[in-house]
Structure 1
Amino acid sequence: MKPANLVEMVWRTAEKNSQKNGFLVKVAGEYKGITYRDFWIQVSQTAAGLAHYGVGFGDHVAILSDNNPYWAISDIAIMSLGAVSVPIHSTLPSDQISYILSNADCKFLFVENQKQLQKILANSTLDKLIIFYPGDSLAEKKEDMLTMEQLMSAGEKHPLFNWEDEFQAITRDDLATIIHTSGTTGYPKGAMLTHGNILSNVEGVQFWVLEARPDDIMLSHLPLSHIFERMAGQFFPLSVGATIAYAENIDTVQQNLLEVQPTILVSVPLLFEKVYAQAQKMVESGTPIRRKIFDWALKVGNTRYKYYLSSATDVMVRKSELPKEFRRKWKIADKLVYQKVKKQLGGRIRGFISGGGALNPEIGKFFWSVDLPVLEGYGLTETSPVICVNPFSRTKVGTVGKPLPNLDVHISDDGEVLVKGPSIMKGYYHDEEATKEHFENGWFKTGDIGEFDEDGFLRIVDRKKRIIVLTSGINVAPQPVENALHQSIYIENAVLVGQNQKYVIVLLTLNYENLKSWCKRKGIRGSVNELVTNKKVQELITREVKSNTHKFARYEQPKKLIIVTKEWTVEGGEMTQSLKVRFKEIEEKYKEVIEQMYEEEAYAEIEVAANEVAVGLSLPKSKGD
């Protein structure tokens, strides 16, 4: 029988796997295990503590923290009382945090540490604060503050009677969480997701994609405040008794991969782009013979990829079914190249799941070619989140896969992806108008433009509202061009602009680690600003833009480019918490530079704005321009 709610699902797992490590967390330089039994005891004590201080069915409790075991403990404890968990991105500034707390009617808040505490000390709407890691002393102690230890101690002294009976009475229709969308403009909207919404997504993914196993280890490094990580990196492994290891932070993922040696990694395109760039950098710095071996191994991998993914077959070809002569080549390539790449990722990965944005198809093919399957998917906060994903047994790189078996997906007359099914949110909290705007005849409107291929695999073409219309009347979908530019190891981010202009131009941030390595080999030295104004560097970036966009129609190819020297970050407002570019923020921030680029026939001066240097370049004209 299927569990009635998320808490019951985790309880069943904890009962079945009580002595097994459910979590790994780094303490004093070493990963330590937390068994499912100990985890569940802490959940029960936290739930009892919350109830003791007045939290009950329907109350809203927020969590402001980076990933750690207390995040999962508090999340499940909140929901076990029939209360609603409200995650908040740890990178948000205090004013946005206050907006979410107010919008979601939160009275209780779990906060990670003193750094996060400082953001909400002025908030007077909260009844109680619970601090995960208070440190040696609190900068400001208030009566409404408790440490996590104090909360659990209260729960131990005042245990809940009939707790298991009570949480088993929670239904799939009951509200589990309110997650605020990290949109590119305006205030965030609180998507209301039920227990059934998330459960149905876990069940659909487990059936359709990469079946999670009790012996799997997952490295959790994306924010748990985002539904993608919450579903795929928390509830997905907890549904089967797998182990969740927490990365220390985003900068230590490479080291933590080597320490934890995960079997499955859920991530975003940015990580795969970095691994790809690192591999390309390694090849570039190698000897000619090493480069030849690497290229040969990639060709072998590409051939095997075609065996696996040929549209003529519906079942993935196993190694034993490959031609004997080819199997010999593949084993040599595996020993010389593939195993070395795998070793840098811990050595035990059997599959990646990529979401949160479009993965460049060339990068996807690279991973498949080195025997590291990447299963790209697609979804939204409002859909809990997965709508489509490539199954392990039948994958098409360059698509986001097929709809989950418990969802219906339809393409409207104007190309928008519409979806129905049990994982679709109830609506936006306190926003009936926005809810009505996103539903039509029972279908949820994703706002994405997509198309199905002949085999029923979905491709996302672009955002419905992000189409560039040139003065010629021609429409340009920016995303495919931007994805192509992300293939360059020297380009970190690319944003195409050109609404109501004759042609498109592109704003770029660069991968300065790779650029500095190239400059060192060329004998070029200097600061970042000096590098991007160096003629040879500008010629390099120009070549990269031209070579990666030459396959597009001429009107889709950028005629000029702007190099931005300042990194785009969540804190700076250029990126969302799920590491997507805020396009309208970028266009507004660099409005003057963009306008000057269009006003001048040629542009090679340095524009200084807000202590940032933006270098504009005109690309060489192609025939027919």
Structure 2
Amino acid sequence: MKAKNLVEMVSQSAERFSEKHAFLWKKEGRFQGISYYSFWEKVKHIAAGLAHLGIKRNDKVAILSENNPYWPVADLAIMSLGAVCVPIHSTLPPEQIDYILQNAECAFIFVQDEKYLNKILRNGKAPIPTAIIFPRENFKETEALFSLQHLAYIGSVNPFDNWEEGWNDLSRWDLATIIYTSGTTGKPKGAMLTHGNILSNVEGIQFWVLEARPDDILLSHLPLSHVFERMAGQFMPLSVGATIAYAEGINKVQENLLEVRPTVLVSVPLLFERVYAQAQKMVETGTPLRRKIFNWAINIGIKKYDHYLKLTFDDAMKNGFLPKEIKKSWKFANAFVYSKVKKKLGGRIRGLISGGGALNPEIGKFFWAVDIPVLEGYGLTETSPVVCSNPMNRSKVGTVGKPLPNLEVKIAPDGEVLVKGPSVMKGYYKDEKATDEAFKDGWFLTGDIGRFDEEGFLKIVDRKKRIIVLTTGKNVAPQPVENAITQSIYIDNSVLIGQDRKYVIALITPNLENLLSWAEKKGLSGDFQQLLKEKEVQLLLTKEVARFTQQFARYEQPKKVVIIGKEWTVEDGELTPSLKVRIPEIQKKYKEVIHHAYTEEMFIDMQIAANEVAVGLSLEFSRGKEHSS
């Protein structure tokens, strides 16, 4: 029987798997756990504490914190009262946090520690009545600011008489959460998602993509304030009694993978790009024999994947579907190559789920080739979030899969992807105009350009507003070109620029670790900034751009490469919390650099670099404020 609300869904798992670990987290150097029973008791006490302090149905309560076990405790406690959870990205600046708190009319807020508390203080006072801080030593409590333990104590001495009756009355139509979009083109908008919106998405994913199991372990590292992690990394595993382990941070993911050894990893393309880059680096720095074995193994893996694509759904599910000539070679390739790549992810991964941005098809095919299925999907905050995804038994690299079985998806005459179904939001909070603009004849307008292939798999071309129109009349979809460029192990991020220009240029940020390693072998010395002034380094990076974009039409290939001597981060505003590049921020921040790239006459003729990768065109290398010629 389907759950009526998210609280009921999780309560069923808490009852069935009471002694099993719900969460794992690192403390004092090792991972420790909490059972489903203890987790649910904490939810009950926190909910009772909130109720005693006056939180009631439809009140808004915010959470400002990084991922940890207290996050879902607060989330479920809020929802169990019929109140509405308002997650806030922990990396947002104070003014944006303040805007969300005021716009959502939050009555309470949960904060991780004093660091985040300081983000909401105005003249020494919080902009809302009460803040609850997660456990922290040497913390001084006041009437309006106290710890989670104290709130739990309040709940334990003022217990519920009818807690279950209360949340049993919640329906799928009741509002569960308001999630604010990133606000790159204006003020953030609060997408109102109901219990039914998120439940229908969990159900669609569970049926269609990768069936979650009670014995699964997931490593949570994307921010829970983001709808993708909230649905796929929290509610989906909790719906079946799986275990969620919390990473110590994005920079510790590789280390935590080896400690936790997850079976499923939900992540964004950036992480998979890094794993791919590590594998490529291992090959490039290896002996000729190692490179030969690796390339042979990848070729065998691709043959297996190509064979898999020709199978029907039923045949793909059967064991031993490989032809004998592939099966024997595959066993050797697995022993000598695939198993080593799998160990980088802990050794137990049965599936990767990629969302939050487009995955480079070459990288997707690489993971399938080394026997690590990567299932790419597509969605938005407003759709709770998944619209389409590749199923495990029939995944097609280069697409975002097929629509979930409980959704309708169609392509408008202008190419925009339109969605209708139970996971589409109610609307934007206190913004009727934006809500009206987001819908047409009952269909949600995604703002993305896409097309279905002959088998019904969706391909996303780019954001509708991101299509670059050149003065020559040519249209360029930047995302595929940018994805190709970041396939280089020496490049972390890339952005294509060219609207109302004659040609496109590429802004790139180098990969510090790999570039320093390359420079050392070449006998080049100096710090990162000094290296970027070396002509050999400039030539390397330009050749990499040329190499990875040679398959595109000439007007899609960057004519100049601008090297940015700074890593792009969430904290500095260049990346979103889900690690996507904020294009408007990049265009604004590097406006003068871009201007120089289009107006500077001085350049290094890169014909030699272009010839080496057989693109047959001269690439100019222009330097602005962030670089030198």
User: TM-score higher than 0.5 here?
Assistant: yes
1:259 aligns with 2:259: yes
Q: Distance in 1 between matches of 2:628 and 2:264?
A: 41
| Deviation larger for 306-315 or 370-379 | 306-315
Superposition deviation, residue 601 in structure 1: 3.3
Q: Distance in 1 between matches of 2:474 and 2:484?
A: 20
1:130 matched residue in structure 2:
132
Superposition deviation, residue 317 in structure 1: 6.0
The runs of 5 or more residues in structure 1 that have no matched partner are: 617-625
Q: Is the 8 A contact 2:98 2:127 kept in 1?
A: no
Q: Distance in 1 between matches of 2:512 and 2:29?
A: 30
- One-letter amino acid of the structure 2 residue matched with residue 134 of structure 1: R
Q: Is the 8 A contact 2:268 2:354 kept in 1?
A: yes
Superposition deviation, residue 211 in structure 1: 0.2
Superposition deviation, residue 497 in structure 1: 0.5
Which residues of 2 match residues 306-321 of structure 1 at below 5 A?
306-310=306-310, 315-316=315-316, 318=318, 320-321=320-321
Q: Distance in 2 between matches of 1:372 and 1:346?
A: 12
Q: Is the 8 A contact 1:315 1:394 kept in 2?
A: no
Q: Is the 8 A contact 2:9 2:239 kept in 1?
A: yes
- One-letter amino acid of the structure 1 residue matched with residue 363 of structure 2: I
Superposition deviation, residue 451 in structure 1: 0.3
Superposition deviation, residue 143 in structure 1: 2.6
Q: Distance in 1 between matches of 2:192 and 2:455?
A: 33
Superposition deviation, residue 184 in structure 1: 2.4
- One-letter amino acid of the structure 2 residue matched with residue 355 of structure 1: G
Deviations 1:159-187, CA, capped at 9 Å, x for gaps:
11111011011000000000001142211
- One-letter amino acid of the structure 2 residue matched with residue 598 of structure 1: Y
Aligned to 2:177, the other structure's residue is in SS state strand
Q: Is the 8 A contact 1:506 1:560 kept in 2?
A: yes
- One-letter amino acid of the structure 2 residue matched with residue 361 of structure 1: P
| Deviation larger for 192-201 or 581-590 | 581-590
Q: Distance in 1 between matches of 2:321 and 2:396?
A: 20
Distance 1:307 1:607, change over 3 A: closer
Deviations 1:170-207, CA, capped at 9 Å, x for gaps:
00000000000114221111000000000000000000
1:8 matched residue in structure 2:
8
2:60 matched residue in structure 1:
60
1:492 matched residue in structure 2:
492
1:620 matched residue in structure 2:
none
Aligned to 1:137, the other structure's residue is in SS state coil
Q: Is the 8 A contact 2:269 2:357 kept in 1?
A: yes
Aligned-pair RMSD on alpha carbons?
A: 1.4
- Name the % identity: 64
1:361 matched residue in structure 2:
361
1:207 matched residue in structure 2:
207
1:545 matched residue in structure 2:
545
Give the TM-score normalised by the residue count of structure 2.
0.95
Deviations 1:334-371, CA, capped at 9 Å, x for gaps:
01011111111111000000000000000000000000
Superposition deviation, residue 107 in structure 1: 1.2
| Deviation larger for 415-424 or 572-581 | 572-581
Deviations 1:537-562, CA, capped at 9 Å, x for gaps:
11111111111111111111110010
Superposition deviation, residue 125 in structure 1: 3.3
1:614 aligns with 2:616: no
Superposition deviation, residue 490 in structure 1: 0.8
Q: Distance in 2 between matches of 1:550 and 1:509?
A: 20
Q: Is the 8 A contact 2:303 2:326 kept in 1?
A: no
Q: Distance in 2 between matches of 1:217 and 1:147?
A: 29
Q: Distance in 1 between matches of 2:183 and 2:274?
A: 25
The runs of 5 or more residues in structure 2 that have no matched partner are: 605-620
1:622 matched residue in structure 2:
none
Which residues of 2 match residues 27-42 of structure 1 at below 5 A?
27-42=27-42
Q: Distance in 1 between matches of 2:311 and 2:556?
A: 29
Superposition deviation, residue 310 in structure 1: 2.7
2:446 matched residue in structure 1:
446
- One-letter amino acid of the structure 1 residue matched with residue 135 of structure 2: Y
Q: Distance in 1 between matches of 2:579 and 2:127?
A: 30
- One-letter amino acid of the structure 1 residue matched with residue 247 of structure 2: A
Aligned to 1:171, the other structure's residue is in SS state coil
- One-letter amino acid of the structure 1 residue matched with residue 499 of structure 2: Q
Q: Is the 8 A contact 1:417 1:445 kept in 2?
A: yes
Aligned to 1:118, the other structure's residue is in SS state helix
Q: Distance in 2 between matches of 1:436 and 1:17?
A: 44
Distance 1:498 1:294, change over 3 A: same
Superposition deviation, residue 137 in structure 1: 3.1
Deviations 1:119-172, CA, capped at 9 Å, x for gaps:
11225431111000232234xx54301100000000000011111011011000
Which residues of 2 match residues 460-539 of structure 1 at below 5 A?
460-539=460-539
Q: Distance in 1 between matches of 2:468 and 2:85?
A: 39
Q: Is the 8 A contact 2:484 2:548 kept in 1?
A: yes
Aligned to 1:322, the other structure's residue is in SS state coil
1:396 matched residue in structure 2:
396
Deviations 1:451-476, CA, capped at 9 Å, x for gaps:
00000000000100111111112111
Aligned to 1:239, the other structure's residue is in SS state helix
Aligned to 1:541, the other structure's residue is in SS state helix
Superposition deviation, residue 102 in structure 1: 0.5
Give the TM-score normalised by the residue count of structure 1.
0.96
- One-letter amino acid of the structure 1 residue matched with residue 260 of structure 2: V
Distance 1:318 1:302, change over 3 A: farther
Q: Distance in 1 between matches of 2:79 and 2:174?
A: 10
Q: Is the 8 A contact 1:113 1:135 kept in 2?
A: no
